[in-house]
Structure 1
Amino acid sequence: MERQELSDILQQNGIVGAGGAGFPTYGKLDERAETIILNCAECEPLLRLHRQLLEKHAGEIVETFHMIGETLGAKDVVIGIKEAYKETIEALNQVVADYKNVRLGLLEEVYPAGDEVVLIYEVTGKVIRPGVLPIESGIAVFNVETVYNIYRALHNEPVIEKLVSVVAEVENPITVKVPIGTSLEEVVKMAGKTTVNNPVYFVGGPMMGSIGSKFQPVTKTTNGILVLPQDHLLVQKKNSNSSIDLKRAAACCCNCSMCTDLCPRNRLGHPIEPHKFMQAATCKDVQNPDIFVNTYFCSSCGLCEMFSCFQGLSPRTLMTEYKGKLRGRGVPMPKVEAKGVGPEREFRKVPMERLMARLDLTKYDKEAPLKEEVPDTKRVKILMSQHIGAPAIPRVTKGDKVKKGDVVGAMGKGLSVNIHASIDGTICEVNDKYVMIEA
């Protein structure tokens, strides 16, 4: 298939990264890509949907990923997967032998093995220059569910459903496939009763997720819902006040450098040093502005504040706030080179088992079987912006009848994709931000 043809199919069918920020996938179809990597590290604790999907649909996903490699002329097609995912690896071994340039890149059970920069280093040995996209080094990374969505798009099926793991304080942890736009409350009900009063919905992974509302709709990037008690560590951390966090850091930070020593990007030579930032920010010391500007290179993995700091301080949260202020004032990201990777990196990886214990999540580490039957949904709220780039533009009016797969939001100017109806029904509300459909 020609690259432009594939690009058009992905854009028309609304394919974006099925996790993270939702980068429109057609933008990754770059002829400079000599290596493509399928990311099945799934390093966020408790989430299982990628390994489950890859195990069940190994043939379709590997075939599609190989096709993407051929379209781009990639010489190396790598499936990055943790060696602990035995059943998925067994399923992959049944099909990868049919494709000469496809290989498995086995990963350790550490966090954050799924961080794009870390994953690339582990399976290729290349260090991505700080602050740039992997394509500069001839590499493109794709999410497992994204590639499965590409497979479906090739069979004229746009993105109208999403896999979501529902775990923690629920009766029956499960991974479900739901229409995009379904409320979080409806999705959680599919896992049975909640086992705590006044539960908090923690959307995404425990390390990089955020607290959501029960009325919030599922989007193309919603991977998981952790149902947690209000007094859980993760909830308390997310509800903390940044001004208080800064005062606590001024009083407690001993500048031990543990946050920097265990920082995955720092271990790969990127100039991000949380301990120096904490000292400079709390003392209002601006003699070395690079300390503040280098917060741009933080990946927000959360290890510094959720694992490394024995004082329970919040380097990631404070650096994220500073990054936002820098962007708001038009401060550009500096152009720098990565330093060498030291031998100590091998001894500063964080085991998943230890991380889950630190986060008080071990008791929730249970099977969440994949259920692919899509439930009937009475109402969906479909956001026009579910991806990085320009939002889609509503192409329906109140009272219109639509069927599953109809375009309800046309791609905007620039980097954008179409948005589709996820159920059959009637448009009951439309504005620039969302379209509401009643079955």
Structure 2
Amino acid sequence: MDMKELSNILQQNGIVGAGGAGFPTYAKLNENAETLILNCAECEPLLRLHRQLLEKYAQEIVETFHLIGQAVGAKELVIGIKKAYTKTIDALNGVIGAYPEVRLGLLDEVYPAGDEVVLIYEVTKKVVRPGGLPIEQGVAVFNVETVYNAYRAINQSTPVVDKLVSVVAEVDHPVTVRVPIGTTIEETVKLAGGITTKNPVYFIGGPMMGFIGSGSLPVTKTTNAVLVLPEEHLIIQKKRKKTSIDLKRAAACCCQCSMCTDLCPRNRLGHPIQPHLFMRAATCKDVQEPNIFVNTMFCSSCGLCEMYSCMQGLSPRTLMAEYKAGLRANGLRPPQVEAKPVGPEREYRKVPMERLMARLDLTKYNKEAPLDESVVPVSKVKIMLSQHIGAPAAAIVKQGDKVTKGQMIAEPAKGLSVGIHASIDGVVSEVTDKYVIIETQEGRAGK
């Protein structure tokens, strides 16, 4: 299969990064990609869906990874996976022998091993320049579920109509389930049995980079997990702090110990991001060195600085994100800079996942969440037209239309965009420029 044909299949079937920002996968196909990396680092604490999926569908995923490599002409294919995922590694070892260009890139159990820039360095020793793209180093990175979705599109003509979501923490039966795109978070949580805490809060995504959401929010192509946490949990309390108060606290007690910078994964790779200097400049309103503020644009928002490193419980990541957003809103782009050489101390400043979970009071939630791909009956879905970086898809259905599962309901817009598809059989009950609602006949009858 050539790159043009593969690109069309991926775009029309709505394949995007199944996590993070949802970058359209077809746009990652590039003949300059000499190395492809399959990301099975399972970056965030408590998440298991990638290793589970890769263990169960090792043959299908590796075969598709190989096909993508052939399409772009890549010389090397690397599966980045933590050494601790022994069952998945065993499954891969039983498959990769048939693909001589595929090798395993074994990773330590540290955070954030799944950060794209960190992962590339760990398995290739190449450093992506600050603000740069992996393709500049001849590298393209793909998510495990993304490649599995590509397999389904290529071999089964199945577009992205569902999503694997891990439901963990304060639930009776932690589980990883496959639900139709557009299912509410509340309905998804119910699949893990009862909630085991009063005043539960739904934390969507991983504990380090996720956000507090309501039960009415729909599952999208990038929804990886829902943590059900008690309202008083420190992660929830941290997220609910006001940035104005955070800034005042930083002015009062930041001691410039530089621990946030010393443990910053991007700084350890030579990127000019120095959270401790930012905290000093921001709290003192010192603009003598404007690059301290500009360099916030190189922050990956991994959260280590405020969730692990700072002994005062301050919030460098949150404050830098606010400044970074302000710079972008005013049209500023990251400057062209080169990374400094990676120092030997980097190896001794990695954060073990076990210690991170203990610090976040998550160890008690580190339980098996078995993969359950049973069909989940849903009577209503709200499908967002923007579930990816780039232009939202353009709806091609109207209210009252009958649709079937897998039918395209929004076509790719001009520019960077992908198709969106019906995730259930039913009738379109509402269409806006932001979403399409589909209801089953049973759901409409129950109104």
Aligned twin of 1:371 = 372
After TM superposition, give the deviation of residue 183 of structure 1 in Å.
0.1
Aligned twin of 1:230 = 231
What is the distance in 1 between the residues matched to 2:162 and 2:55?
19
Aligned twin of 1:416 = 417
Counterpart AA for 1:23: F
After TM superposition, give the deviation of residue 332 of structure 1 in Å.
2.0
What is the distance in 2 between the residues matched to 1:17 and 1:419?
14
Aligned twin of 2:445 = none
Counterpart AA for 1:41: A
Gaps of 5+ in 1: none
Aligned twin of 1:42 = 42
Counterpart AA for 2:124: T
Helix, strand or coil for the counterpart of 2:168?
Answer: strand
- Report matched runs for 1:7-406 at 5 Å: 7-154=7-154, 155-406=156-407
Helix, strand or coil for the counterpart of 1:422?
Answer: coil
After TM superposition, give the deviation of residue 198 of structure 1 in Å.
1.9
After TM superposition, give the deviation of residue 330 of structure 1 in Å.
1.1
Counterpart AA for 2:435: Y
After TM superposition, give the deviation of residue 43 of structure 1 in Å.
1.6
Q: Deviations over 1:406-430 (max 9, x none)?
A: 1111111100000000000000111
Helix, strand or coil for the counterpart of 1:399?
Answer: coil
Helix, strand or coil for the counterpart of 2:36?
Answer: strand
Let me know the Cα RMSD of the aligned residues: 0.4
Q: How many residues align?
A: 439
What is the distance in 2 between the residues matched to 1:374 and 1:24?
26
Q: Deviations over 1:208-265 (max 9, x none)?
A: 0000110000000000000000000110111110000000000010000000000000
What is the distance in 1 between the residues matched to 2:407 and 2:142?
26
What is the distance in 1 between the residues matched to 2:126 and 2:414?
34
After TM superposition, give the deviation of residue 374 of structure 1 in Å.
2.0
After TM superposition, give the deviation of residue 61 of structure 1 in Å.
0.1
Gaps of 5+ in 2: 441-447
What is the distance in 1 between the residues matched to 2:375 and 2:303?
33
Q: Deviations over 1:63-108 (max 9, x none)?
A: 0001111111100100000000000000000000010100000000
What is the distance in 2 between the residues matched to 1:198 and 1:231?
9
Helix, strand or coil for the counterpart of 2:105?
Answer: strand
After TM superposition, give the deviation of residue 205 of structure 1 in Å.
0.2
Counterpart AA for 1:73: G
After TM superposition, give the deviation of residue 382 of structure 1 in Å.
0.1
What is the distance in 2 between the residues matched to 1:382 and 1:330?
31
Helix, strand or coil for the counterpart of 1:243?
Answer: helix
What is the distance in 2 between the residues matched to 1:374 and 1:143?
23
What is the distance in 2 between the residues matched to 1:208 and 1:125?
25
Identity of aligned residues (%): 74
After TM superposition, give the deviation of residue 373 of structure 1 in Å.
1.1
Query: Could you list the runs of 4 or more consecutive aligned residues of structure 1 that deviate by over 6 angstroms after TM superposition?
Result: none
TM-score calculated relative to the size of structure 2: 0.98
Helix, strand or coil for the counterpart of 1:9?
Answer: helix
What is the distance in 2 between the residues matched to 1:400 and 1:369?
37
What is the distance in 2 between the residues matched to 1:164 and 1:436?
21
TM-score calculated relative to the size of structure 1: 1.00
What is the distance in 2 between the residues matched to 1:121 and 1:353?
22
What is the distance in 1 between the residues matched to 2:329 and 2:416?
21
After TM superposition, give the deviation of residue 191 of structure 1 in Å.
0.1
